[in-house]
Each structure stands twice: as C-alpha cells, then as structure tokens.
Structure 1
Amino acid sequence: MTGTLRAPAAPMTPLRGLGVAAAFTLAAAAVALLSAVHLTQGTSAVGVTDLLRSVLGGDDPDALSVLVASRLPRLLGGVTVGAALGTAGTLLQSVARNPLASPDTLAVSQGAYLAVVAASASGVTLPALPSGGLSFLGGLAAAALVLAVSAGGRAGTTRLILAGSAATLALGSLATLLMILFEEQTTGLFSWGNGSLAQSDLVAVTQMGPVVLLALGAAMSLGPRLDILGLGDDTASVLGVNVRDLRLLATLLAVLLSAAAVTVAGPIGFVGLCAPVIVRLLGRSMPGLNRHRVMLPLSALAGVIIMLAADILLRAVLGGQAGVEVPPGVVTTVIGASVLMWLARRHRDAGPARQPPGVRAAHRSRTRFWVVLLACAALTAGAGLGGLLLGDTMVLGGDVANWLRGRTGTALTYVLDQRYPRVLAALLAGAALAVAGTTVQAVCRNPLAEPGVLGVTAGAGAGAIGLLTFVPLAGIGMLSLAAGAGAFIAFALVHLLAWKGGLSSDRLVLMGVGTQALFTAITVLIIVRSDPWNTAKALTWLSGSTYGRVPLQLLPVAVALLLFLPAAFLLRRDLDLLSLDEQTPRILGVPLEPVRLAALGGAVLLASTAVGAVGVVGFVGLVAPHAARALVGGVHARVLPVAALLGALLVTVADALGRTVIAPAQIPAGLVTALIGTPYFVWLLWRSRAA
C-alpha cells in the first residue's frame, strides 16, 4: 500500500517534462558551444575573426576555403560519429541488459574495421556507401559471435567483456597482419584504426549522416518495446513483445550505426559505452530520462559532446597539428577506460560460492601425468629443433650438428647464429607466459583470465615502446626495466582499484580490461606522435616478434623463471585452494591476501620479462594452462610444469610458422598465437555458455 501511495502518476508529470526539457536544452547548448570552439581550432593561421567575417559575407577566400574544406567536415564528422555511437551503445546495453555492452566491448567496431582493412589490402577502393555496407557485414559478424558465446550478454558482465576482448584481439590481429603484409596498400590505416576525424571532404558525412538519422528514428520507434524488454524476457513476452525479433532488429540497427561511424572516422573507442552511462546517471536525478524515446536521442547528443570535447581537448593540449597526427579515439579510449574502471569498481561479485565453469578439472592418474609431461617435453624439444631448421633458409639436422661442433661454413654459421636466440626467446617467453597465466587463473578463479586481460602485458608494452621511442639507443637492461615498470604500474593500478573490502575476482578482471585499454591508448599515442607514418616496426613489436633477438635480451626472462618457478611450486597447495572459492582457504588458514599478492606479483614479473624478450604475445597465458588442466587435472603441482612446456611449444611453433609460411616475409609470433588461441577461447566460452 505504501508503494502505491508513493508513486502517483499525475503529480510527477510536470517534473518529468521539466527534467526532459532541461536535459535536452543543456545538451543542445553544450553541442552548440563545443561546435563553435571546435571551428576555431586547426593548423592554419585562420582565426575566429577571419571565420566570422567569412560567414557574414566577407571577401576572405582563404578563410572560407579552410572552413569548408577542413574544419566544417571535421566538425560534422565528429557530430555524425558521436551520434551514431551514442545511439548504438544504448541499443546494445538495452538488448544485453548489461551496462558494459557497447560497440567496443562487443567487437562490432573492430569487425567493421577489419572489413575495411581487408578491402584496402586487396587493392579495392570503395566509395563511402559501399564501404559502409562492407563495414556493416564485418561488424554484424563480430557482434553475432560475441553475443552467441556470451549468451546474449545476459550470462554475466565478465563473460561478455571477456568474449568481446577475445574477439577484439583476434580481429585486431588479423587487421595488423594485413597491414604488415600489405604496408603500401594500407598506409595510414594504423592511425585511422584508432579513430581519426580528419576529413578531406564532406562526401562520407553527407552519405553516412542520413543513414545515422534514419537508424536513430527507427531505434526511437522501438522505444516502448525496449522499455518493456527491460522488465525481463518473460514479462515482455506476456505483454505481447516478440523478444527475439526485437533483439535482432535492435542489434542490426546498432551494428548499422557502428558501421556508419567506422566508415566516417574508423573505430573510435568507448564513446558508445560512455554516452549511455552518462544519460543513465542523469536519469537518477532527472525523472523521465530512462524511457528509450528520450534516452536514445539524448545519448546521441551525449556522444556528440564526448566526441567534440575529446577532439578539442586533444588539439588544445598538443596543438593543431595533433589533430592530424593523433587520432581523437585515443582520448575517448582514455576517458572510456576510466568509465569502465569506475563501473567495474561498482560491480558486485557473484558471491563466495561462485564457481566459474572449467576451473575444476577431472582427476588424472600419476602415470598419465608422467606420460603427458614426457610427451610435452619431447614435442617442445622437437619444436625447438624445428625452429632451428625452418625459415627463409632451410637447414638440415646434420648442419645443426656440425654447427654445434663449429664445423659449418660462414653462410650456415651466420644463419644459425641468428636463429638460435629466436628459438630460445620463444621457448622462454612461452613458458613464462604460461606459468603467469596459470597463476592468474588460480587467483582470479576464472579459466578465461590471463596476464593480458589484467592489463599487465599492455603496461609492459607501453613501457617498452616508450623507451624505444624516446631513448632509441637504450640497452637491453633498460628495455627490460622499462617493460617491468610499465607492467608493475598497470598491476598496481588494477590491484588498488579492484580492492574494495577484499579482492573480487570479477572486479579484478573488469578492472584489468579497462587498464589494458588505457595503456594500449597510451602506446598508440606514443607511436603516432613520434613517427605516424612508420608504424611497421611498432606493429611488429606490439604483435610479438623474436626478430633480431640476442642472447643477452633473454637473460631477464630466464632469471624470472628461475626465481618464480620454485616459488610457485612452494605455493602449489595454496593455489589449489585459491582456485576453489573464497572461504575454503580462509578456513584452512591460508593467508589469502599475501598469497594472492605474491602469486600475482610473480605473474607480473614473468609477463613483463616475456614482453621485454619477444614483445606483446597474447593467448598463451590462456590456452596453455587450460590445456594442461585438461590433460593432467587441476592440481597445480602437475599443471605448472605441463603448462610451461605447452606455452613454450605454442610460441616456438608459432614463431617457426611465422618465419616459414610466407618466407622471406615474416608473420610476428604474437599474431599467430592470437589466430590459434582465439578459436580455442571461443570454444571454451561456447562450451560453458549454458552454465
């Protein structure tokens, strides 16, 4: 009865109208103000007074030319992209009923971007509309994959983010591979691939703008049904809503909007996440904003505000030339990553009894363990030998034997002297990443976590790239220190922000994904600011490569393995208990937080030294531990050595394939591991989706 008295409809009507009117008025005023400021920025000497005279009918052809050919297209591009992404993010969050759903977390933008890169690599130049259609198909395929393996996003926030991160990494790896192999055809796509508003004319905006407006209108027509869908599938069905068709239509509109944004400016990160979040927060204090017919256009305006503000901030801080060199998507990614971490901070874990599927593995016999261990050791040794034999110059086993005895000629000696550090780098880095992944999965109690997901490898990559850029003559020791510093900064940030009266496993993973995005944006900023047109070297490093390695570079990762492997073996029983649940280790007297900190610290050490040795290599820390548990059970005394061997095997095989398949050109090992690991990851998600 009390609830009935507190919710009378009539007295609230004027307040609702006032709240909505005030929100739209403020948003429109903010857009107008930002647009005016935006037009005054640029690389030319044309200022505010010149532009005003030109607009009012003055006879300054230079000012008019700058306004029409450069500044107005950039402004309209920002408006189009912001409106498209803000609307798309709202639709995806409503469909998935998940506040972290967006074109980025569902890999829609990355799928659309890959389609454009593939077209450019094949030498096909498409006008804006056909390019938008191609982007739509790529984004739709990516969204279908992520939503399928994450049960439509309703199976949990962490699962959705992990599925989207994996798909983004895989699609990004394919795009990077195409850019490395077809460098001439894809020149400039690295910067554009992080979101660039630089427009040479109004063609893309005039063709994609009507698409965005029509899609926004169609989305608003779905508003009442989306409001009902928010009450739950069963309730919506009872009230006459065809839930399946509504979800399909809303998803198609979101992908269409995302594809239009990618066509205009490339994949701009996190605008589709931030804009709906801002509107939903405003809805708590301004009644009436939570209805979709209000929320959708208001989210579009919020997206425009974020997009224009990011571009203004970029050029105000770094100068007008930064608008050409630095993609504003870097700024939006930094903002969006901060919002993602804020949302993760508010995220509630599923509770102490939570048990992710796949952590517990069936018991395996001791005999099976020894057979598997010996088989993995033999395969790893064979892969190491194969790595010495394969490449642009094929070598025979007898040549290797003669080289070991110092009896080969100059040519073969040179080849093998260059090749063996690469093989050792792959073996050591693979083992280090696998052990780090095993530890992270035990601490997080999530078989889908790995060092990359916690932002550690992105932090290490940012540290290493920063040193290579600003101190190009730095030695190997300095490189390892820079990578380690970046990794530990990222780890400290994740750990401190994830701590909230305890360390929630889900919150740790979500915070790690946000940190990963943050440090990736920093890395892109360093690259494009230092040398925006020579990105092949940076792409190769960020994709993980053993090229040009010398034995001294491998010393840090070898020392890290020698230090942490015995420590991990001593902690083996604690890791077994940590992987069960939150309460069991406490009951049995395990000092939970010190053990977690020690285990994660060791994982960070291993991951950072591996990045210093071979660059950023993904998925090894995911695939190797999971495969080891499937082979020998879940006891860490057995999982650790088998995972180390499997990780070494995976990276060594990937490196050998990358050096051989398209020789003399090379595919970075990290791209090969991503292409191998992604199908396995998707299979893991699909297998456990029912749970």
Structure 2
Amino acid sequence: MSTVLTPAPPAAAPARRLGVAGLFVLGLAGVVLIAAVHITQGTSSVGVMDLLRLPFTDGDGGEAARVLAASRLPRLLAGVAVGVALGVAGALLQSLARNPLASPDTLAVADGAHLAVVGVAAFGVTLPTLPAGGLALVGGLGAAALVMALSSGGRTSTTRLILAGSATGIALHSLTNLLMILFQEQTTGLFAWGSGSLVQSDLVAVAQLGPIIAAAVLLGVFAGPRLDILGLGDDTAATLGVNVRRTRVLATVLAVVLSAAAVTIAGPIGFVGLCAPVVVRLLLRVIAGPQRHRVLLPLAALAGVIFVLGADIVLRAVLGGQAGVDVPPGVVTTIIGAGVLIWLARRHRDAGPTRRPPTVRSAAGRSRAALWTIGGVCAALLAGAAVLGLLAGDSWLLTGDVANWLRGESGKVVTFVLDQRYPRVLAAVLAGAALAVAGTIFQAVCRNPLAEPGVLGVTAGAGVGAITLITLVPAAGIWAMSAAAGFGAVATFALIYLLSWRGGLSSDRIVLIGVGAHAAATAITVLIIVRSDPWSTSKALTWLSGSTYGRVPVQLIPVALALVLVLPLAALLRRDLDLLALDEDTPRILGVALEPVRLAALGGAVLLTSSAVSAVGVIGFVGLVAPHIARALVGGRHAHVLPVAALLGAILVSLADTLGRTVIAPAQIPAGLVTALIGTPYFVWLLWRSRAGQD
C-alpha cells in the first residue's frame, strides 16, 4: 500500500471488549435509529404521532399512509440501497488497489455511469430501470478500466491514482455538462440529480435493483477469503492457490455493478464509498478486530447507510423539508467526504514518479536564434488564432470586413458582429495567458508537473466566490465580481497550503488536498445554485464550463491588470523558480528567501487565476497543457518557459472558444468544455508516460 495512515493510539479496554459482534449491533441500532428519524421528515405536515397511529387506524390510513407510501418510504429505501451499494463498492475498490483513497469517486466510476444515464436522456430515450442500470454499468466499467490502467491498478502511487481518476472524471463531467447545455429540455432536472438525489416517486427502482445489490454484496462476502489472501500481495496469493486475475476481475465487476446501481437509483452521491470503508477500518483497528472482508463488507454497508441517511437528515434539519427536494444530499456527503480525503492526504507519504518533470533534454541546448524563432512562431500563431476568432462564428466574415471595421468603414451588420466578437477574442487570449502563467508557477513551486489551478482547487474556489456574488447580487459590477472571485481563490489556496504544510511542502500532499478542496468547492457551488434557482441552471452551467459569451471590454480590465502586475514579478523571480522546481534545500543553500519567494509567486498565480475566472468563468487544463508544451519546445528555464507558455495558453483558449461557437452554430459549446476535452488526453498521456517509465 502506498498510503500510510498514522497508527491509531492504543485502544481502551472498553473499546476492545466491544468486539466485532458489538460493532455489528451498534451499527444495526444506528441504522434503525437514523431510519426512524429519517421517515419523520418531509415537506408535509405528517409527523411522528401520525405515523405511530397508522397501525391502529381503520381504513386506508388517510394522508399519513399516502405520504408514507408515495414519498417517505421510497426515499428511505433508496437511501438504504445506495448506502449499502456504495459502502461495499468502496471497500472492494480499496482492497483491489490496496489504497484507502480508492473509491467509486476517485476512480471516476460514478462519472462514467452518470454520463451514460445523461447521454440516454439527452437524446430523448426513456429506458426502464434495469436497462438504464445496464447502461450505467457499461459507463462505469469503461471509466474504471481506464483509471486502473493509467494508475497501474492504484497500487504503486496514490497520487497517480487520484490524478488519473480526477482527469478522467473531469473529462466525463465535461461531456455530461455539454449534453445538458445542448439538450436543456431533455435533461431538465438532471443538474441537481447529478450530485445525488434521493427523491423517489415510487418503489420501482429500489424493487428492481435491490435484489441485484443484495446479490452483489453476497458474492463479495463469499469471495472475502480470497480477497483477504489477495491483500498479502499477488505473488503470495498465487502461491497460496488464489487465481489472482479472476479474483480481481470479479471484485472489480461487483464494485462497478454496485456503483452503477446506486447511480441509477439516486445519481452520483459523492464520497460515500470513500468514507464508509475508511471509518470501518479505523473502528476495527480501535477494537483490535479482524480486518477480514467477511467482517469489513457488511460493516461498510451499514456505515454507508448511516452516512447517506445521516446526510439527508442533516440537510433537511438545517435547511428545511423543501431542501430535501431541491438540494441533493450528495452535496452534503461530498463536503464531508472531501474533508475525509484531506484528512487522509495529510497522513500520506508518497514518492511516485508524478513528481518528476517531463524530459526536456531535446530543448535544453537550443540556441538563442532558435528560441527567438519559436517565440516568433507562437506569436504569429496567436495572431492567426485571434483573426480566426474574429472571422468565425454563426456568420463567417472576410479579412476585408475586419480591415474595414478597423478603419471604421464597415456596414452596420459587420460592425455589430465584430463589436460582439472582439471582446470574446480578447477575453479568451488574456484568460488563456493568465491561466498558463499561473500553471507554470504552480508546477514550479509545488514541484509537481501535474499541478495546475484546476486540479489544485483554486479555480473552483474562485468559482464559488463568483457564483455566490452572481446569486446574491445579480447586478454586481465587474470589479465586485473580480473581488469575489479573488477572495474565493485566495481563501481556497491559503487553506490548501496550510493543510499541506507538515515540516515542508509535499508535492504529492498538496495535489491530494487540492483534489479534496476542488470537490468541496464544486459541491458548495451546486448547493448555491440549486438553493437560489433550481430550475434555471443553464447560466450557471455555462459559467462553470467557462464561456466568453456576452463579454464586454470592461470585464477584461481585471485580467489585463493582473497580467501587467504578475508578468514582471514572474520575470523577476524566474531564476528563483528554476531553483524552487529542484527541491527544498538547493534554494536555501544558494541564499533564496524560500518562503517569501514562494508566497510571492503563489500570490501572483492566485491573482491570475481569480481574474481569469472573473473574465471567462471556470476553464481547466490550460495551466497544465501550456507549460508542458512550452518546456518541450524551449527547455526548463523559466525565463524561456513563461513567455512561451503564455502565448500557448492564449492560443489554446482562443482556438477552443472559436471552435466552440462555430462547430454547431448557432448553438455554442463553452470554451472550458473544449479545453477539458483537449487537455484530458494530454493529461492521460502524461500519466501513461510516467507509468511506462516506472514500469
């Protein structure tokens, strides 16, 4: 196992005396108690006494019986089924990967299943429960297979597992958002469902998928002894007569079946599969109980039920009964689960190959003339991308039209079109350059070539600030928007930085904590949106997907000012960034004031990120792709990397924006979705490349 949890303190005698049987009894009692509380909550006036009188009531039971049968009982049973499925699925995946951070969320299983379900709905196909579950199973299996392949099964590097799952999940989530934007009528209501909703109109889904969940759990328990032996290592298991390949395939299929069933019933409820097994393993350690799978899996099922129903109870107790309809309980589980992920990451020790920068030997010896040539070519490509952005769209223009517009001699139609387009082109160019420079700085300071503002949660934090202001003050100006986005970005990264610091800054730890912060920030954003206007999500989806639509010149001032301020700072710190990218000791030996330089560089990167978010919304992967291509072209010195990365980032976002508003015109694809779909394959290639180097 590549992740090491801090050993629990010696268990007290009462805890040891509790034993596994006592733990089962407490778990069952907890489920019964929480279920009893859960069934009393709802939007109707039916209370505890009304439900208690039902067995002694003549006739059909009246309003209380109807509410119980039509709403509360289906919701309760859905929560039980989902909790059991996700708890056991998470335990199986953690055992397969020998990694406590593995779960249906970190392996993108839920995202794959979610995409399959939304894809069917987008094209107007209504499937019964079982076929929909089969389709979700196919999507989940495909996502899990890709992530496990990229991460070598998750056994060699926790950071690789999380990064592979995050990249795959972002790509699948981008495709899902794209379908919901393009097919708004067909996918109405799926935005909140995409975070996990227990709202049920009947018992059909639970009745049909419940036996499948029960059968999968029983098969997992039956295979428990083989999984116990598999935990000793593949070679040892093979020596002891276990068919390793068959056992792995069986456990993987069971985990994905359970995850797909949970998504089909209630949507992707986040992090239940991470938290439930982790809590059970810690409790078993405290009571000195056996960690055998025939004990672990049933207890994880009980913990999953408690987690799901408890989150639903807290949600409706704090926000009211109607919140159970409007707000998905998956928001609560994701926020709690993100906290557990961060707690685990703080106890993480990893030294995987993701820490090593990509090879740049071929560019290290380039002459000054070659470097200037590369810069000139990139500048020319950027100019071409900007001109193409002015020409392309739902109506194509000619270069002569642009020339006449610049001279003030164009007709009304051309003038109107170009007056709308040029702020979009400038927004894409400036935001792309800002995100690329920010990504370059993050990668140098964090000493992780896979770090970028999106993966580290800074972009999502800025999005929380901006969405909060949009919701509370719809008429807020651009400066207020920039301030809100900046506050969200700074607060998020400050939290990530403080939590990552344990006697030094671990590149692996900061990435893992950043992923947790990204999940929490995304859940908070969903909560804000569905609480403010649950039926109008297209604007929020467009913002969260990154779009230049409707931009005006004044909105570009903050990102332009950020570039003017930070680019000279980055140039001044270029040699320090070279040293920071090496290790923790070299800068100190050479006299670099490590913490002031680090904080100045990171402050500049956060400023660039927040201003870019305020200008175009949330755009991911630009800060990952552009620095890598720049290093491949001009080497690893930041004096060369920073300007080339800025040009490449501007080109990437500009082309993505042009493509997004041209390929299916007059409909438009947000630029952030295009960059995610472009950047994800590159991200996957980087992971595969480092995997091959490790193997």
TM-score by length of 1: 0.96
Q: Which residue of 2 aligns with 1:165?
A: 166
1: CA distance, partners of 2:572 / 2:415 = 42
Using the TM superposition, name which of 535-544 and 569-578 deviates more.
569-578
Aligned pairs for 1:609-688 within 5 A = 609-688=611-690
What displacement does 1:369 show?
1.7
RMSD: 1.5
Q: Give the structure 2 partner of residue 464 of structure 1.
A: 466
Counterpart contact for 1:149–1:685, Cα < 8 Å:
yes
Q: CA deviation at 1:593?
A: 2.2
Amino acid corresponding to residue 176 of structure 1 in structure 2: N
Q: 1:662, CA displacement in angstroms? A: 0.7
Partners in 2 of 1:147 and 1:624 — Cα distance? Answer: 26
Who is 2:382 aligned against? 380
CA contact (8 A) 1:422 1:547 kept: yes
> 2-side partners of 1:87 and 1:182: how far apart?
34
Q: Offset of 1:235 from its aligned partner?
A: 1.8
Please state whether the residue corresponding to 1:268 is helix, strand or coil.
coil
Number of equivalences: 677
Matches within 5 A, 1:14-413: 19-59=19-59, 60-350=61-351, 355-356=355-356, 358=358, 361-362=361-362, 363-366=364-367, 367-413=369-415
Name whichever of 490-499 and 358-367 sits farther off: 358-367
Q: For the structure 1 residues 46 and 355, does the alpha-carbon distance in structure 2 shift closer, same or farther, using more than 3 Å as the test? A: closer
Instruction: Tell me if the contact between 2:16 and 2:286 (Cα under 8 Å) persists in the aligned partners.
Output: no
C-alpha distance in 1 between matches for 2:194 and 2:480: 30
Give the 3 Å change call, closer, same or farther, for CA 345–56 of structure 1 in structure 2. Answer: farther
- 2:599 is aligned with 1:597: yes
> One-letter code of the match for 2:669?
I
Distance 2:531 2:513 in 1: 27
> Hey, what's the Cα distance between the residues in 2 that align with 1:429 and 1:168?
24
Over 3 Å counting, the alpha-carbon distance change for 1:127 and 1:441 in structure 2 is: same
8 Å Cα contact 1:92-1:251 kept in structure 2: yes
Is the contact between residue 84 and residue 258 of structure 1 (CA under 8 Å) also seen in structure 2?
yes
**1:596 maps to amino acid:** R
Note if contact 1:155-1:689 (Cα within 8 Å) is conserved in structure 2. Answer: no
> SS in structure 2 opposite 1:638?
helix
1:632 Cα shift? 1.1
Q: Match for 1:296: what amino acid?
A: L
Identical pairs, percent: 73
Q: In structure 1, how many angstroms separate the alpha carbons of the residues matched to 2:688 and 2:638?
A: 25
Aligned residue for 1:573? 575
Shift of 1:587: 2.3
- The separation in 1 between residues aligned to 2:445 and 2:360, in whole angstroms, is 13
Structure 2 distance, partners of 1:582, 1:236, is 40
Q: Specify the SS of the correspondent of 1:144.
A: helix
Aligned mates of 1:55, 1:681 — CA distance in 2: 59
- Partner of 1:573: helix, strand, or coil? helix
Partner Cα distance (2:359, 2:174) in 1: 28
Farther-moved stretch of structure 1 (99-108 vs 153-162): 153-162
Distance 1:507 1:160, change over 3 A: same
Using the TM superposition, give the Cα deviation of residue 147 of structure 1 relative to its aligned residue in structure 2, in angstroms: 0.7
Structure 2: how far apart are the matches of 1:494 and 1:355? 18
1:243 positional shift = 1.9
SS in 2 for 1:663: coil
Question: How far 1:569 moved relative to its partner?
Answer: 1.1
C-alpha distance in structure 2 between counterparts of 1:155 and 1:359, whole Å: 21
Which residue of 433, 437, 448 maps to 2:439? 437
Alignment counterpart, residue 422 of structure 1, candidates 402, 421, 424: 424
Superposed CA offset, 1:140-195 (max 9, x none): 00001111111111121111111111111100000000001011111101010100
Please say if residues 354 and 690 of structure 2, whose CA atoms lie closer than 8 Å, have aligned partners that are also in contact.
no
Give the whole-Å Cα distance in 1 for the aligned partners of 2:302 and 2:354.
Answer: 39
CA contact (8 A) 2:15 2:286 kept: no
Instruction: Give the superposition deviation at 1:289.
Output: 4.1
Following superposition, the deviation at residue 583 of structure 1 comes to: 2.5
Structure 2 counterpart SS, 1:106:
coil
Displacement after TM superposition at 1:354 (Å): 8.9
- Residue aligning to 2:609: 607
**Which range moves more in the overlay, 420-429 or 147-156?**
147-156
Report deviation, 1:580. 1.7
The whole-number CA distance in structure 2 between the counterparts of 1:631 and 1:149 is: 26
| Mean CA deviation greater in 78-87 or 279-288 | 279-288
TM-score by length of 2: 0.96
- 2:451 alignment partner in structure 1: 449
Q: Which runs of 5+ in 1 are unaligned?
A: 1-13
Q: 1:243 to 1:74 in 2, by over 3 A?
A: same
Distance 1:241 1:372 in 2: 56
CA displacement at 1:239 relative to structure 2: 1.6
Change (3 A) 1:333 1:361: farther
CA change 1:357–1:57 in 2 (3 A) is farther
Change (3 A) 1:360 1:496: farther
Deviates more, 1:499-508 or 1:57-66: 57-66
Query: After superposition, what is the alpha-carbon deviation per residue over 1:22-74, rounded to whole angstroms, capped at 9, x for unaligned?
Result: 11000000000000000000000111111111234444321101001100000
Aligned amino acid, residue 31 of structure 1: V
User: CA contact under 8 A between 2:97 and 2:154: conserved in structure 1?
Assistant: yes
Residue aligned with 1:685, SS: helix
Give the aligned residue type for 1:310: A
